[in-house]
Structure 1
Amino acid sequence: MVATFTALVRGGGRWHDGSGTITYSFPTKVPGYFPKVDYDGVAGDDAVRILEFNANVVDEIVPFGADIGLNVAQQAAAVRAVTTWNEFANINAVRIGVGGGSGPGTQVTGDGTLASVSGGTPLARGDDGPNPQVDITSVFANGLNFFGTTYKELFVNMNGSVSFGAAVSTYTPTTITAGGTPLIAPFWADVDTRLDTTDPITGPGPQAVYTLDTTNKIFTVTWPGVDYFNVNATTHIPLANKFQLQLYDRGGGNATTGNDFDIVFRYEQIQWTAGDASGGKNGLGGTTAHAGWTSGKGDFEEVPASGIESAMLNLPTTPGNTGERGLYVYQVRAGEVVTSDIIFGAWAAYSTDGTDEDGIAGLPPSTVAGAPVLSTYPGADIQNKLLGQNAQSPAGATIGTPSPHGDLFFNNNYGQGITNPGFQDYGQFTFLHEYGHALGLSHPNGKDADPEYDQQLTVMSYNRHPTQSDKAGIDLKAAIYPITPMLFDIMAVWGLYGANVTTRTEDNTYFGPAVDGTTRVYP
């Protein structure tokens, strides 16, 4: 048999014909659209099942609500993988909010830097208020559809949020959960703007301001350097937090159902996390700020840094669910917060046979140590419980809608290669490999270790570089790995999406030599 790139697209699918867009994101919780199973016969604690990509074997079961967030190093590896594949084919993978069926508003761009807005209505200086009710129909003609309820007004709350139905003046934050008033909070903490404490805070002045941009269809609330309670204390040390909430109109609704929209959090500068009345001293300690959203009906999500002082302080420099520093985007479609076409997640998996696969593409994750595994599942009809499609065949996915077809999950129990992937190691290779599955590529001829192929030809092969043929005897830390997709990978995705002729037009070399100049990695 002659090795050929067509072996990578056996039965494969593609997201689009080269003219479309794929969105990707980094959620923190198991997406709610995955099919649920009752794993133990107890009502109310449904779970998802994980299906190992190669053998279609169920590894374990995990309840919903589990954390699947990637750490900073993993997010960086995922972004590198996306960027690398984009380089040579018209895959057009973009972070959530930039593409994938967005509506009439302008696209979400930038990072945590505050978006420039003109004019607006400042909130009068105060503590825990004022919290004015604002008519938003000049931007959202049909109102907003937030979990089945249409809202044409919202309250702008001094303490770092907007809410629906009632103002929220509570100054000490709690975990943002399913109960209470519908709330969208980029930074829920005790804001105090009673004094113009511009020294040593540089402009703009610390007054919250909201803006209705009727041209671009964006509602914005900016906290442009706000201080914490108590600004009147003689020992108060002024500090400034600069953060922003934006709601982008995405159309899709009518007078009855309300519009689709995007929720955008931007964090430019965070210097304090708690007010004096929340147990803080000089802006720190006490009850730390929280961020996220809740429907008030059982649906919610928090920014991973919530309640963790050091993490909240680092929001401006930490990648959000977009992969961009300080930027979070949540898409609300038909009333539900959805994820993007391809999501990246991680968990700590413990399989029934003791083997922990490194990356699993295409299906829901398992997450916590000690989660129930297959041996505890009551019932023999296992096949009917599986989720069917995997990332090798994503043709059934609909662009702009959530789908399990392209989701990737990485096993944090596999070791440092996955939990702390570097630029030139096994972890980065795994991100390249699993993302290739999500794009529609298979193992060569459907075999992970087909002897006709190795990693010098394709990242989709399990066989090492030909100089390292003894796979079992190679230390992962000493092995060499591709730092880019290889020749057959390039040809295969050209066939699926077409060649990207806009990059590296000055020569015919896609990538240069290994960054550290060694022979351990190769382009």
Structure 2
Amino acid sequence: METLCAFLLLVVDSLLYPYGTDQGDRKNPKSDDGTSPEIPISQSFTFYGKPYNALYVNNNGVVSFGVNVSQYTPDPFPLDGGWPFVAPYWGDVDNRMGGDIFWRQTQDAAILSRCTADINNYFSEIPFQAIWAFVATWDRVAYFGSASKKVNTFQAVLTTNGDIAFIMLNYADIQWTTGRASGGDAKTGLGGTPAQAGFDSGDKTNYYNIPSSRTPDVVNIGGTTNVGVPGRWVFQVDEFVAAVTTESTDCLM
């Protein structure tokens, strides 16, 4: 079992698309409940029938359209406020306590080729060739009020061919679920109102809560999937919600 777990950790790490300053990424400021500036994007990204030409990367585990998100205790989808956003792991991140939030948009040939191959593998019935991608990565981020060394690493990848749009949520290492201000234990990062994962189009019709969201089991999200690859969730989001089945592994990181 130890050998299997070590192998799965390597596999999970390999799920992440390259990130960091050496990849040309920008970093968010060290700020509780902070956000990036509004980021103009070079390729329109259609999210449930609405094209967007800018987005925000929010410290608390959210990529949002049209509005930044400072809320640290997550609500279940659909939201009353009508915010359109993608939430790889919406919780009370505090990068002052540790970690960085990286992001970039790219038309790098290697990244687009990887997006194309991944989407074609998971959605073989949909002809797709990526022309643009956006990669946002929360790297070893701590939680608000942390009195531990627990950190989380996760990622959101947005990609489009100019018409069809997909989001990919990747999980490398999840150790905490809740910040202290959300009722979590400062020493464990658990309890209270745990993190939410999924997406919300803002129309109260097209949304998805990844199973275990806002429950203690969300700490094991790295062992779940809807595409047969533990630690990865992928959705077509331009128009239709993809059918979802959940799978898990016996080695939960």
State the TM-score, normalized to the length of structure 1: 0.38
After superposition, give the CA deviation of every residue in 1:78-104 in whole Å (9 maximum; x if it has no partner): xxxxxxxxxxxxxxxxxxxxxxxxxxx
Residue 240 of structure 2 aligns with an amino acid whose one-letter code is V
Picking from 226, 231, 245, the partner of 1:321 is: 226
Per the alignment, residue 241 of structure 1 pairs with: 152
Report the more deviating stretch, 169-178 or 153-162: 169-178
Q: Percent same amino acid among aligned pairs?
A: 37
Picking from 86, 91, 94, the partner of 1:192 is: 94
Per the alignment, residue 222 of structure 1 pairs with: 137
Asked if structure 1 preserves the Cα contact closer than 8 Å seen for 2:35 and 2:69, the reply is no
Distance in 2 of aligned mates of 1:262 and 1:280: 33
- Unmatched runs of 5 consecutive residues or more in structure 1: 1-109, 198-205, 253-259, 346-523
Report the alpha carbon displacement of residue 237 of structure 1 after superposing the two structures with TM.
1.1
- Unmatched runs of 5 consecutive residues or more in structure 2: 1-10, 113-131, 247-253
1:135 partnered with 2:40: yes
Residue 107 of structure 2 aligns with an amino acid whose one-letter code is T
1:125 partnered with 2:30: yes
Report the alpha carbon displacement of residue 296 of structure 1 after superposing the two structures with TM.
0.8
Per the alignment, residue 304 of structure 1 pairs with: 211
Partner secondary structure for residue 142 of structure 2? strand
Distance in 2 of aligned mates of 1:129 and 1:144: 23
Report the alpha carbon displacement of residue 305 of structure 1 after superposing the two structures with TM.
1.7
Picking from 270, 275, 288, the partner of 2:174 is: 270
Distance in 1 of aligned mates of 2:215 and 2:90: 13
Asked if structure 2 preserves the Cα contact closer than 8 Å seen for 1:229 and 1:275, the reply is yes
Distance in 1 of aligned mates of 2:91 and 2:65: 18
1:156 partnered with 2:156: no
Partner secondary structure for residue 272 of structure 1? coil
Per the alignment, residue 251 of structure 1 pairs with: 162
Partner secondary structure for residue 159 of structure 1? coil
Partner secondary structure for residue 246 of structure 1? strand
Report the alpha carbon displacement of residue 250 of structure 1 after superposing the two structures with TM.
2.3
Residue 235 of structure 2 aligns with an amino acid whose one-letter code is Y
Distance in 2 of aligned mates of 1:305 and 1:136: 32
Distance in 2 of aligned mates of 1:188 and 1:212: 21
Asked if structure 2 preserves the Cα contact closer than 8 Å seen for 1:264 and 1:329, the reply is yes
Asked if structure 2 preserves the Cα contact closer than 8 Å seen for 1:264 and 1:330, the reply is yes
Asked if structure 2 preserves the Cα contact closer than 8 Å seen for 1:178 and 1:295, the reply is no
Distance in 1 of aligned mates of 2:192 and 2:182: 6
Residues 368-387 of structure 1 aligned to structure 2 (within 5 Å) = none
After superposition, give the CA deviation of every residue in 1:25-63 in whole Å (9 maximum; x if it has no partner): xxxxxxxxxxxxxxxxxxxxxxxxxxxxxxxxxxxxxxx
1:174 partnered with 2:174: no
Per the alignment, residue 336 of structure 1 pairs with: 239
Per the alignment, residue 114 of structure 1 pairs with: 16
Asked if structure 2 preserves the Cα contact closer than 8 Å seen for 1:219 and 1:246, the reply is yes
Distance in 2 of aligned mates of 1:344 and 1:286: 27
Report the more deviating stretch, 298-307 or 113-122: 113-122
Report the alpha carbon displacement of residue 344 of structure 1 after superposing the two structures with TM.
5.6
Report the alpha carbon displacement of residue 272 of structure 1 after superposing the two structures with TM.
0.3
Residue 316 of structure 1 aligns with an amino acid whose one-letter code is G
Distance in 1 of aligned mates of 2:165 and 2:49: 13
State the TM-score, normalized to the length of structure 2: 0.76
Structure that is richer in strand per residue = 2
Distance in 2 of aligned mates of 1:344 and 1:325: 12
Number of aligned residues:
206
- Structure 1 residues 344 and 289 mapped into 2: Cα distance closer, same or farther (>3 Å)? closer
Distance in 2 of aligned mates of 1:213 and 1:131: 17
After superposition, give the CA deviation of every residue in 1:453-490 in whole Å (9 maximum; x if it has no partner): xxxxxxxxxxxxxxxxxxxxxxxxxxxxxxxxxxxxxx
Distance in 1 of aligned mates of 2:245 and 2:207: 19
Distance in 2 of aligned mates of 1:131 and 1:213: 17
Picking from 207, 232, 235, the partner of 2:100 is: 207
Report the alpha carbon displacement of residue 339 of structure 1 after superposing the two structures with TM.
2.2
- Structure 1 residues 344 and 209 mapped into 2: Cα distance closer, same or farther (>3 Å)? closer
- Structure 1 residues 114 and 262 mapped into 2: Cα distance closer, same or farther (>3 Å)? same
Asked if structure 1 preserves the Cα contact closer than 8 Å seen for 2:193 and 2:215, the reply is no
Distance in 2 of aligned mates of 1:271 and 1:111: 14
Report the alpha carbon displacement of residue 178 of structure 1 after superposing the two structures with TM.
4.6
Partner secondary structure for residue 291 of structure 1? strand
Distance in 2 of aligned mates of 1:169 and 1:344: 31
Report the alpha carbon displacement of residue 155 of structure 1 after superposing the two structures with TM.
1.1
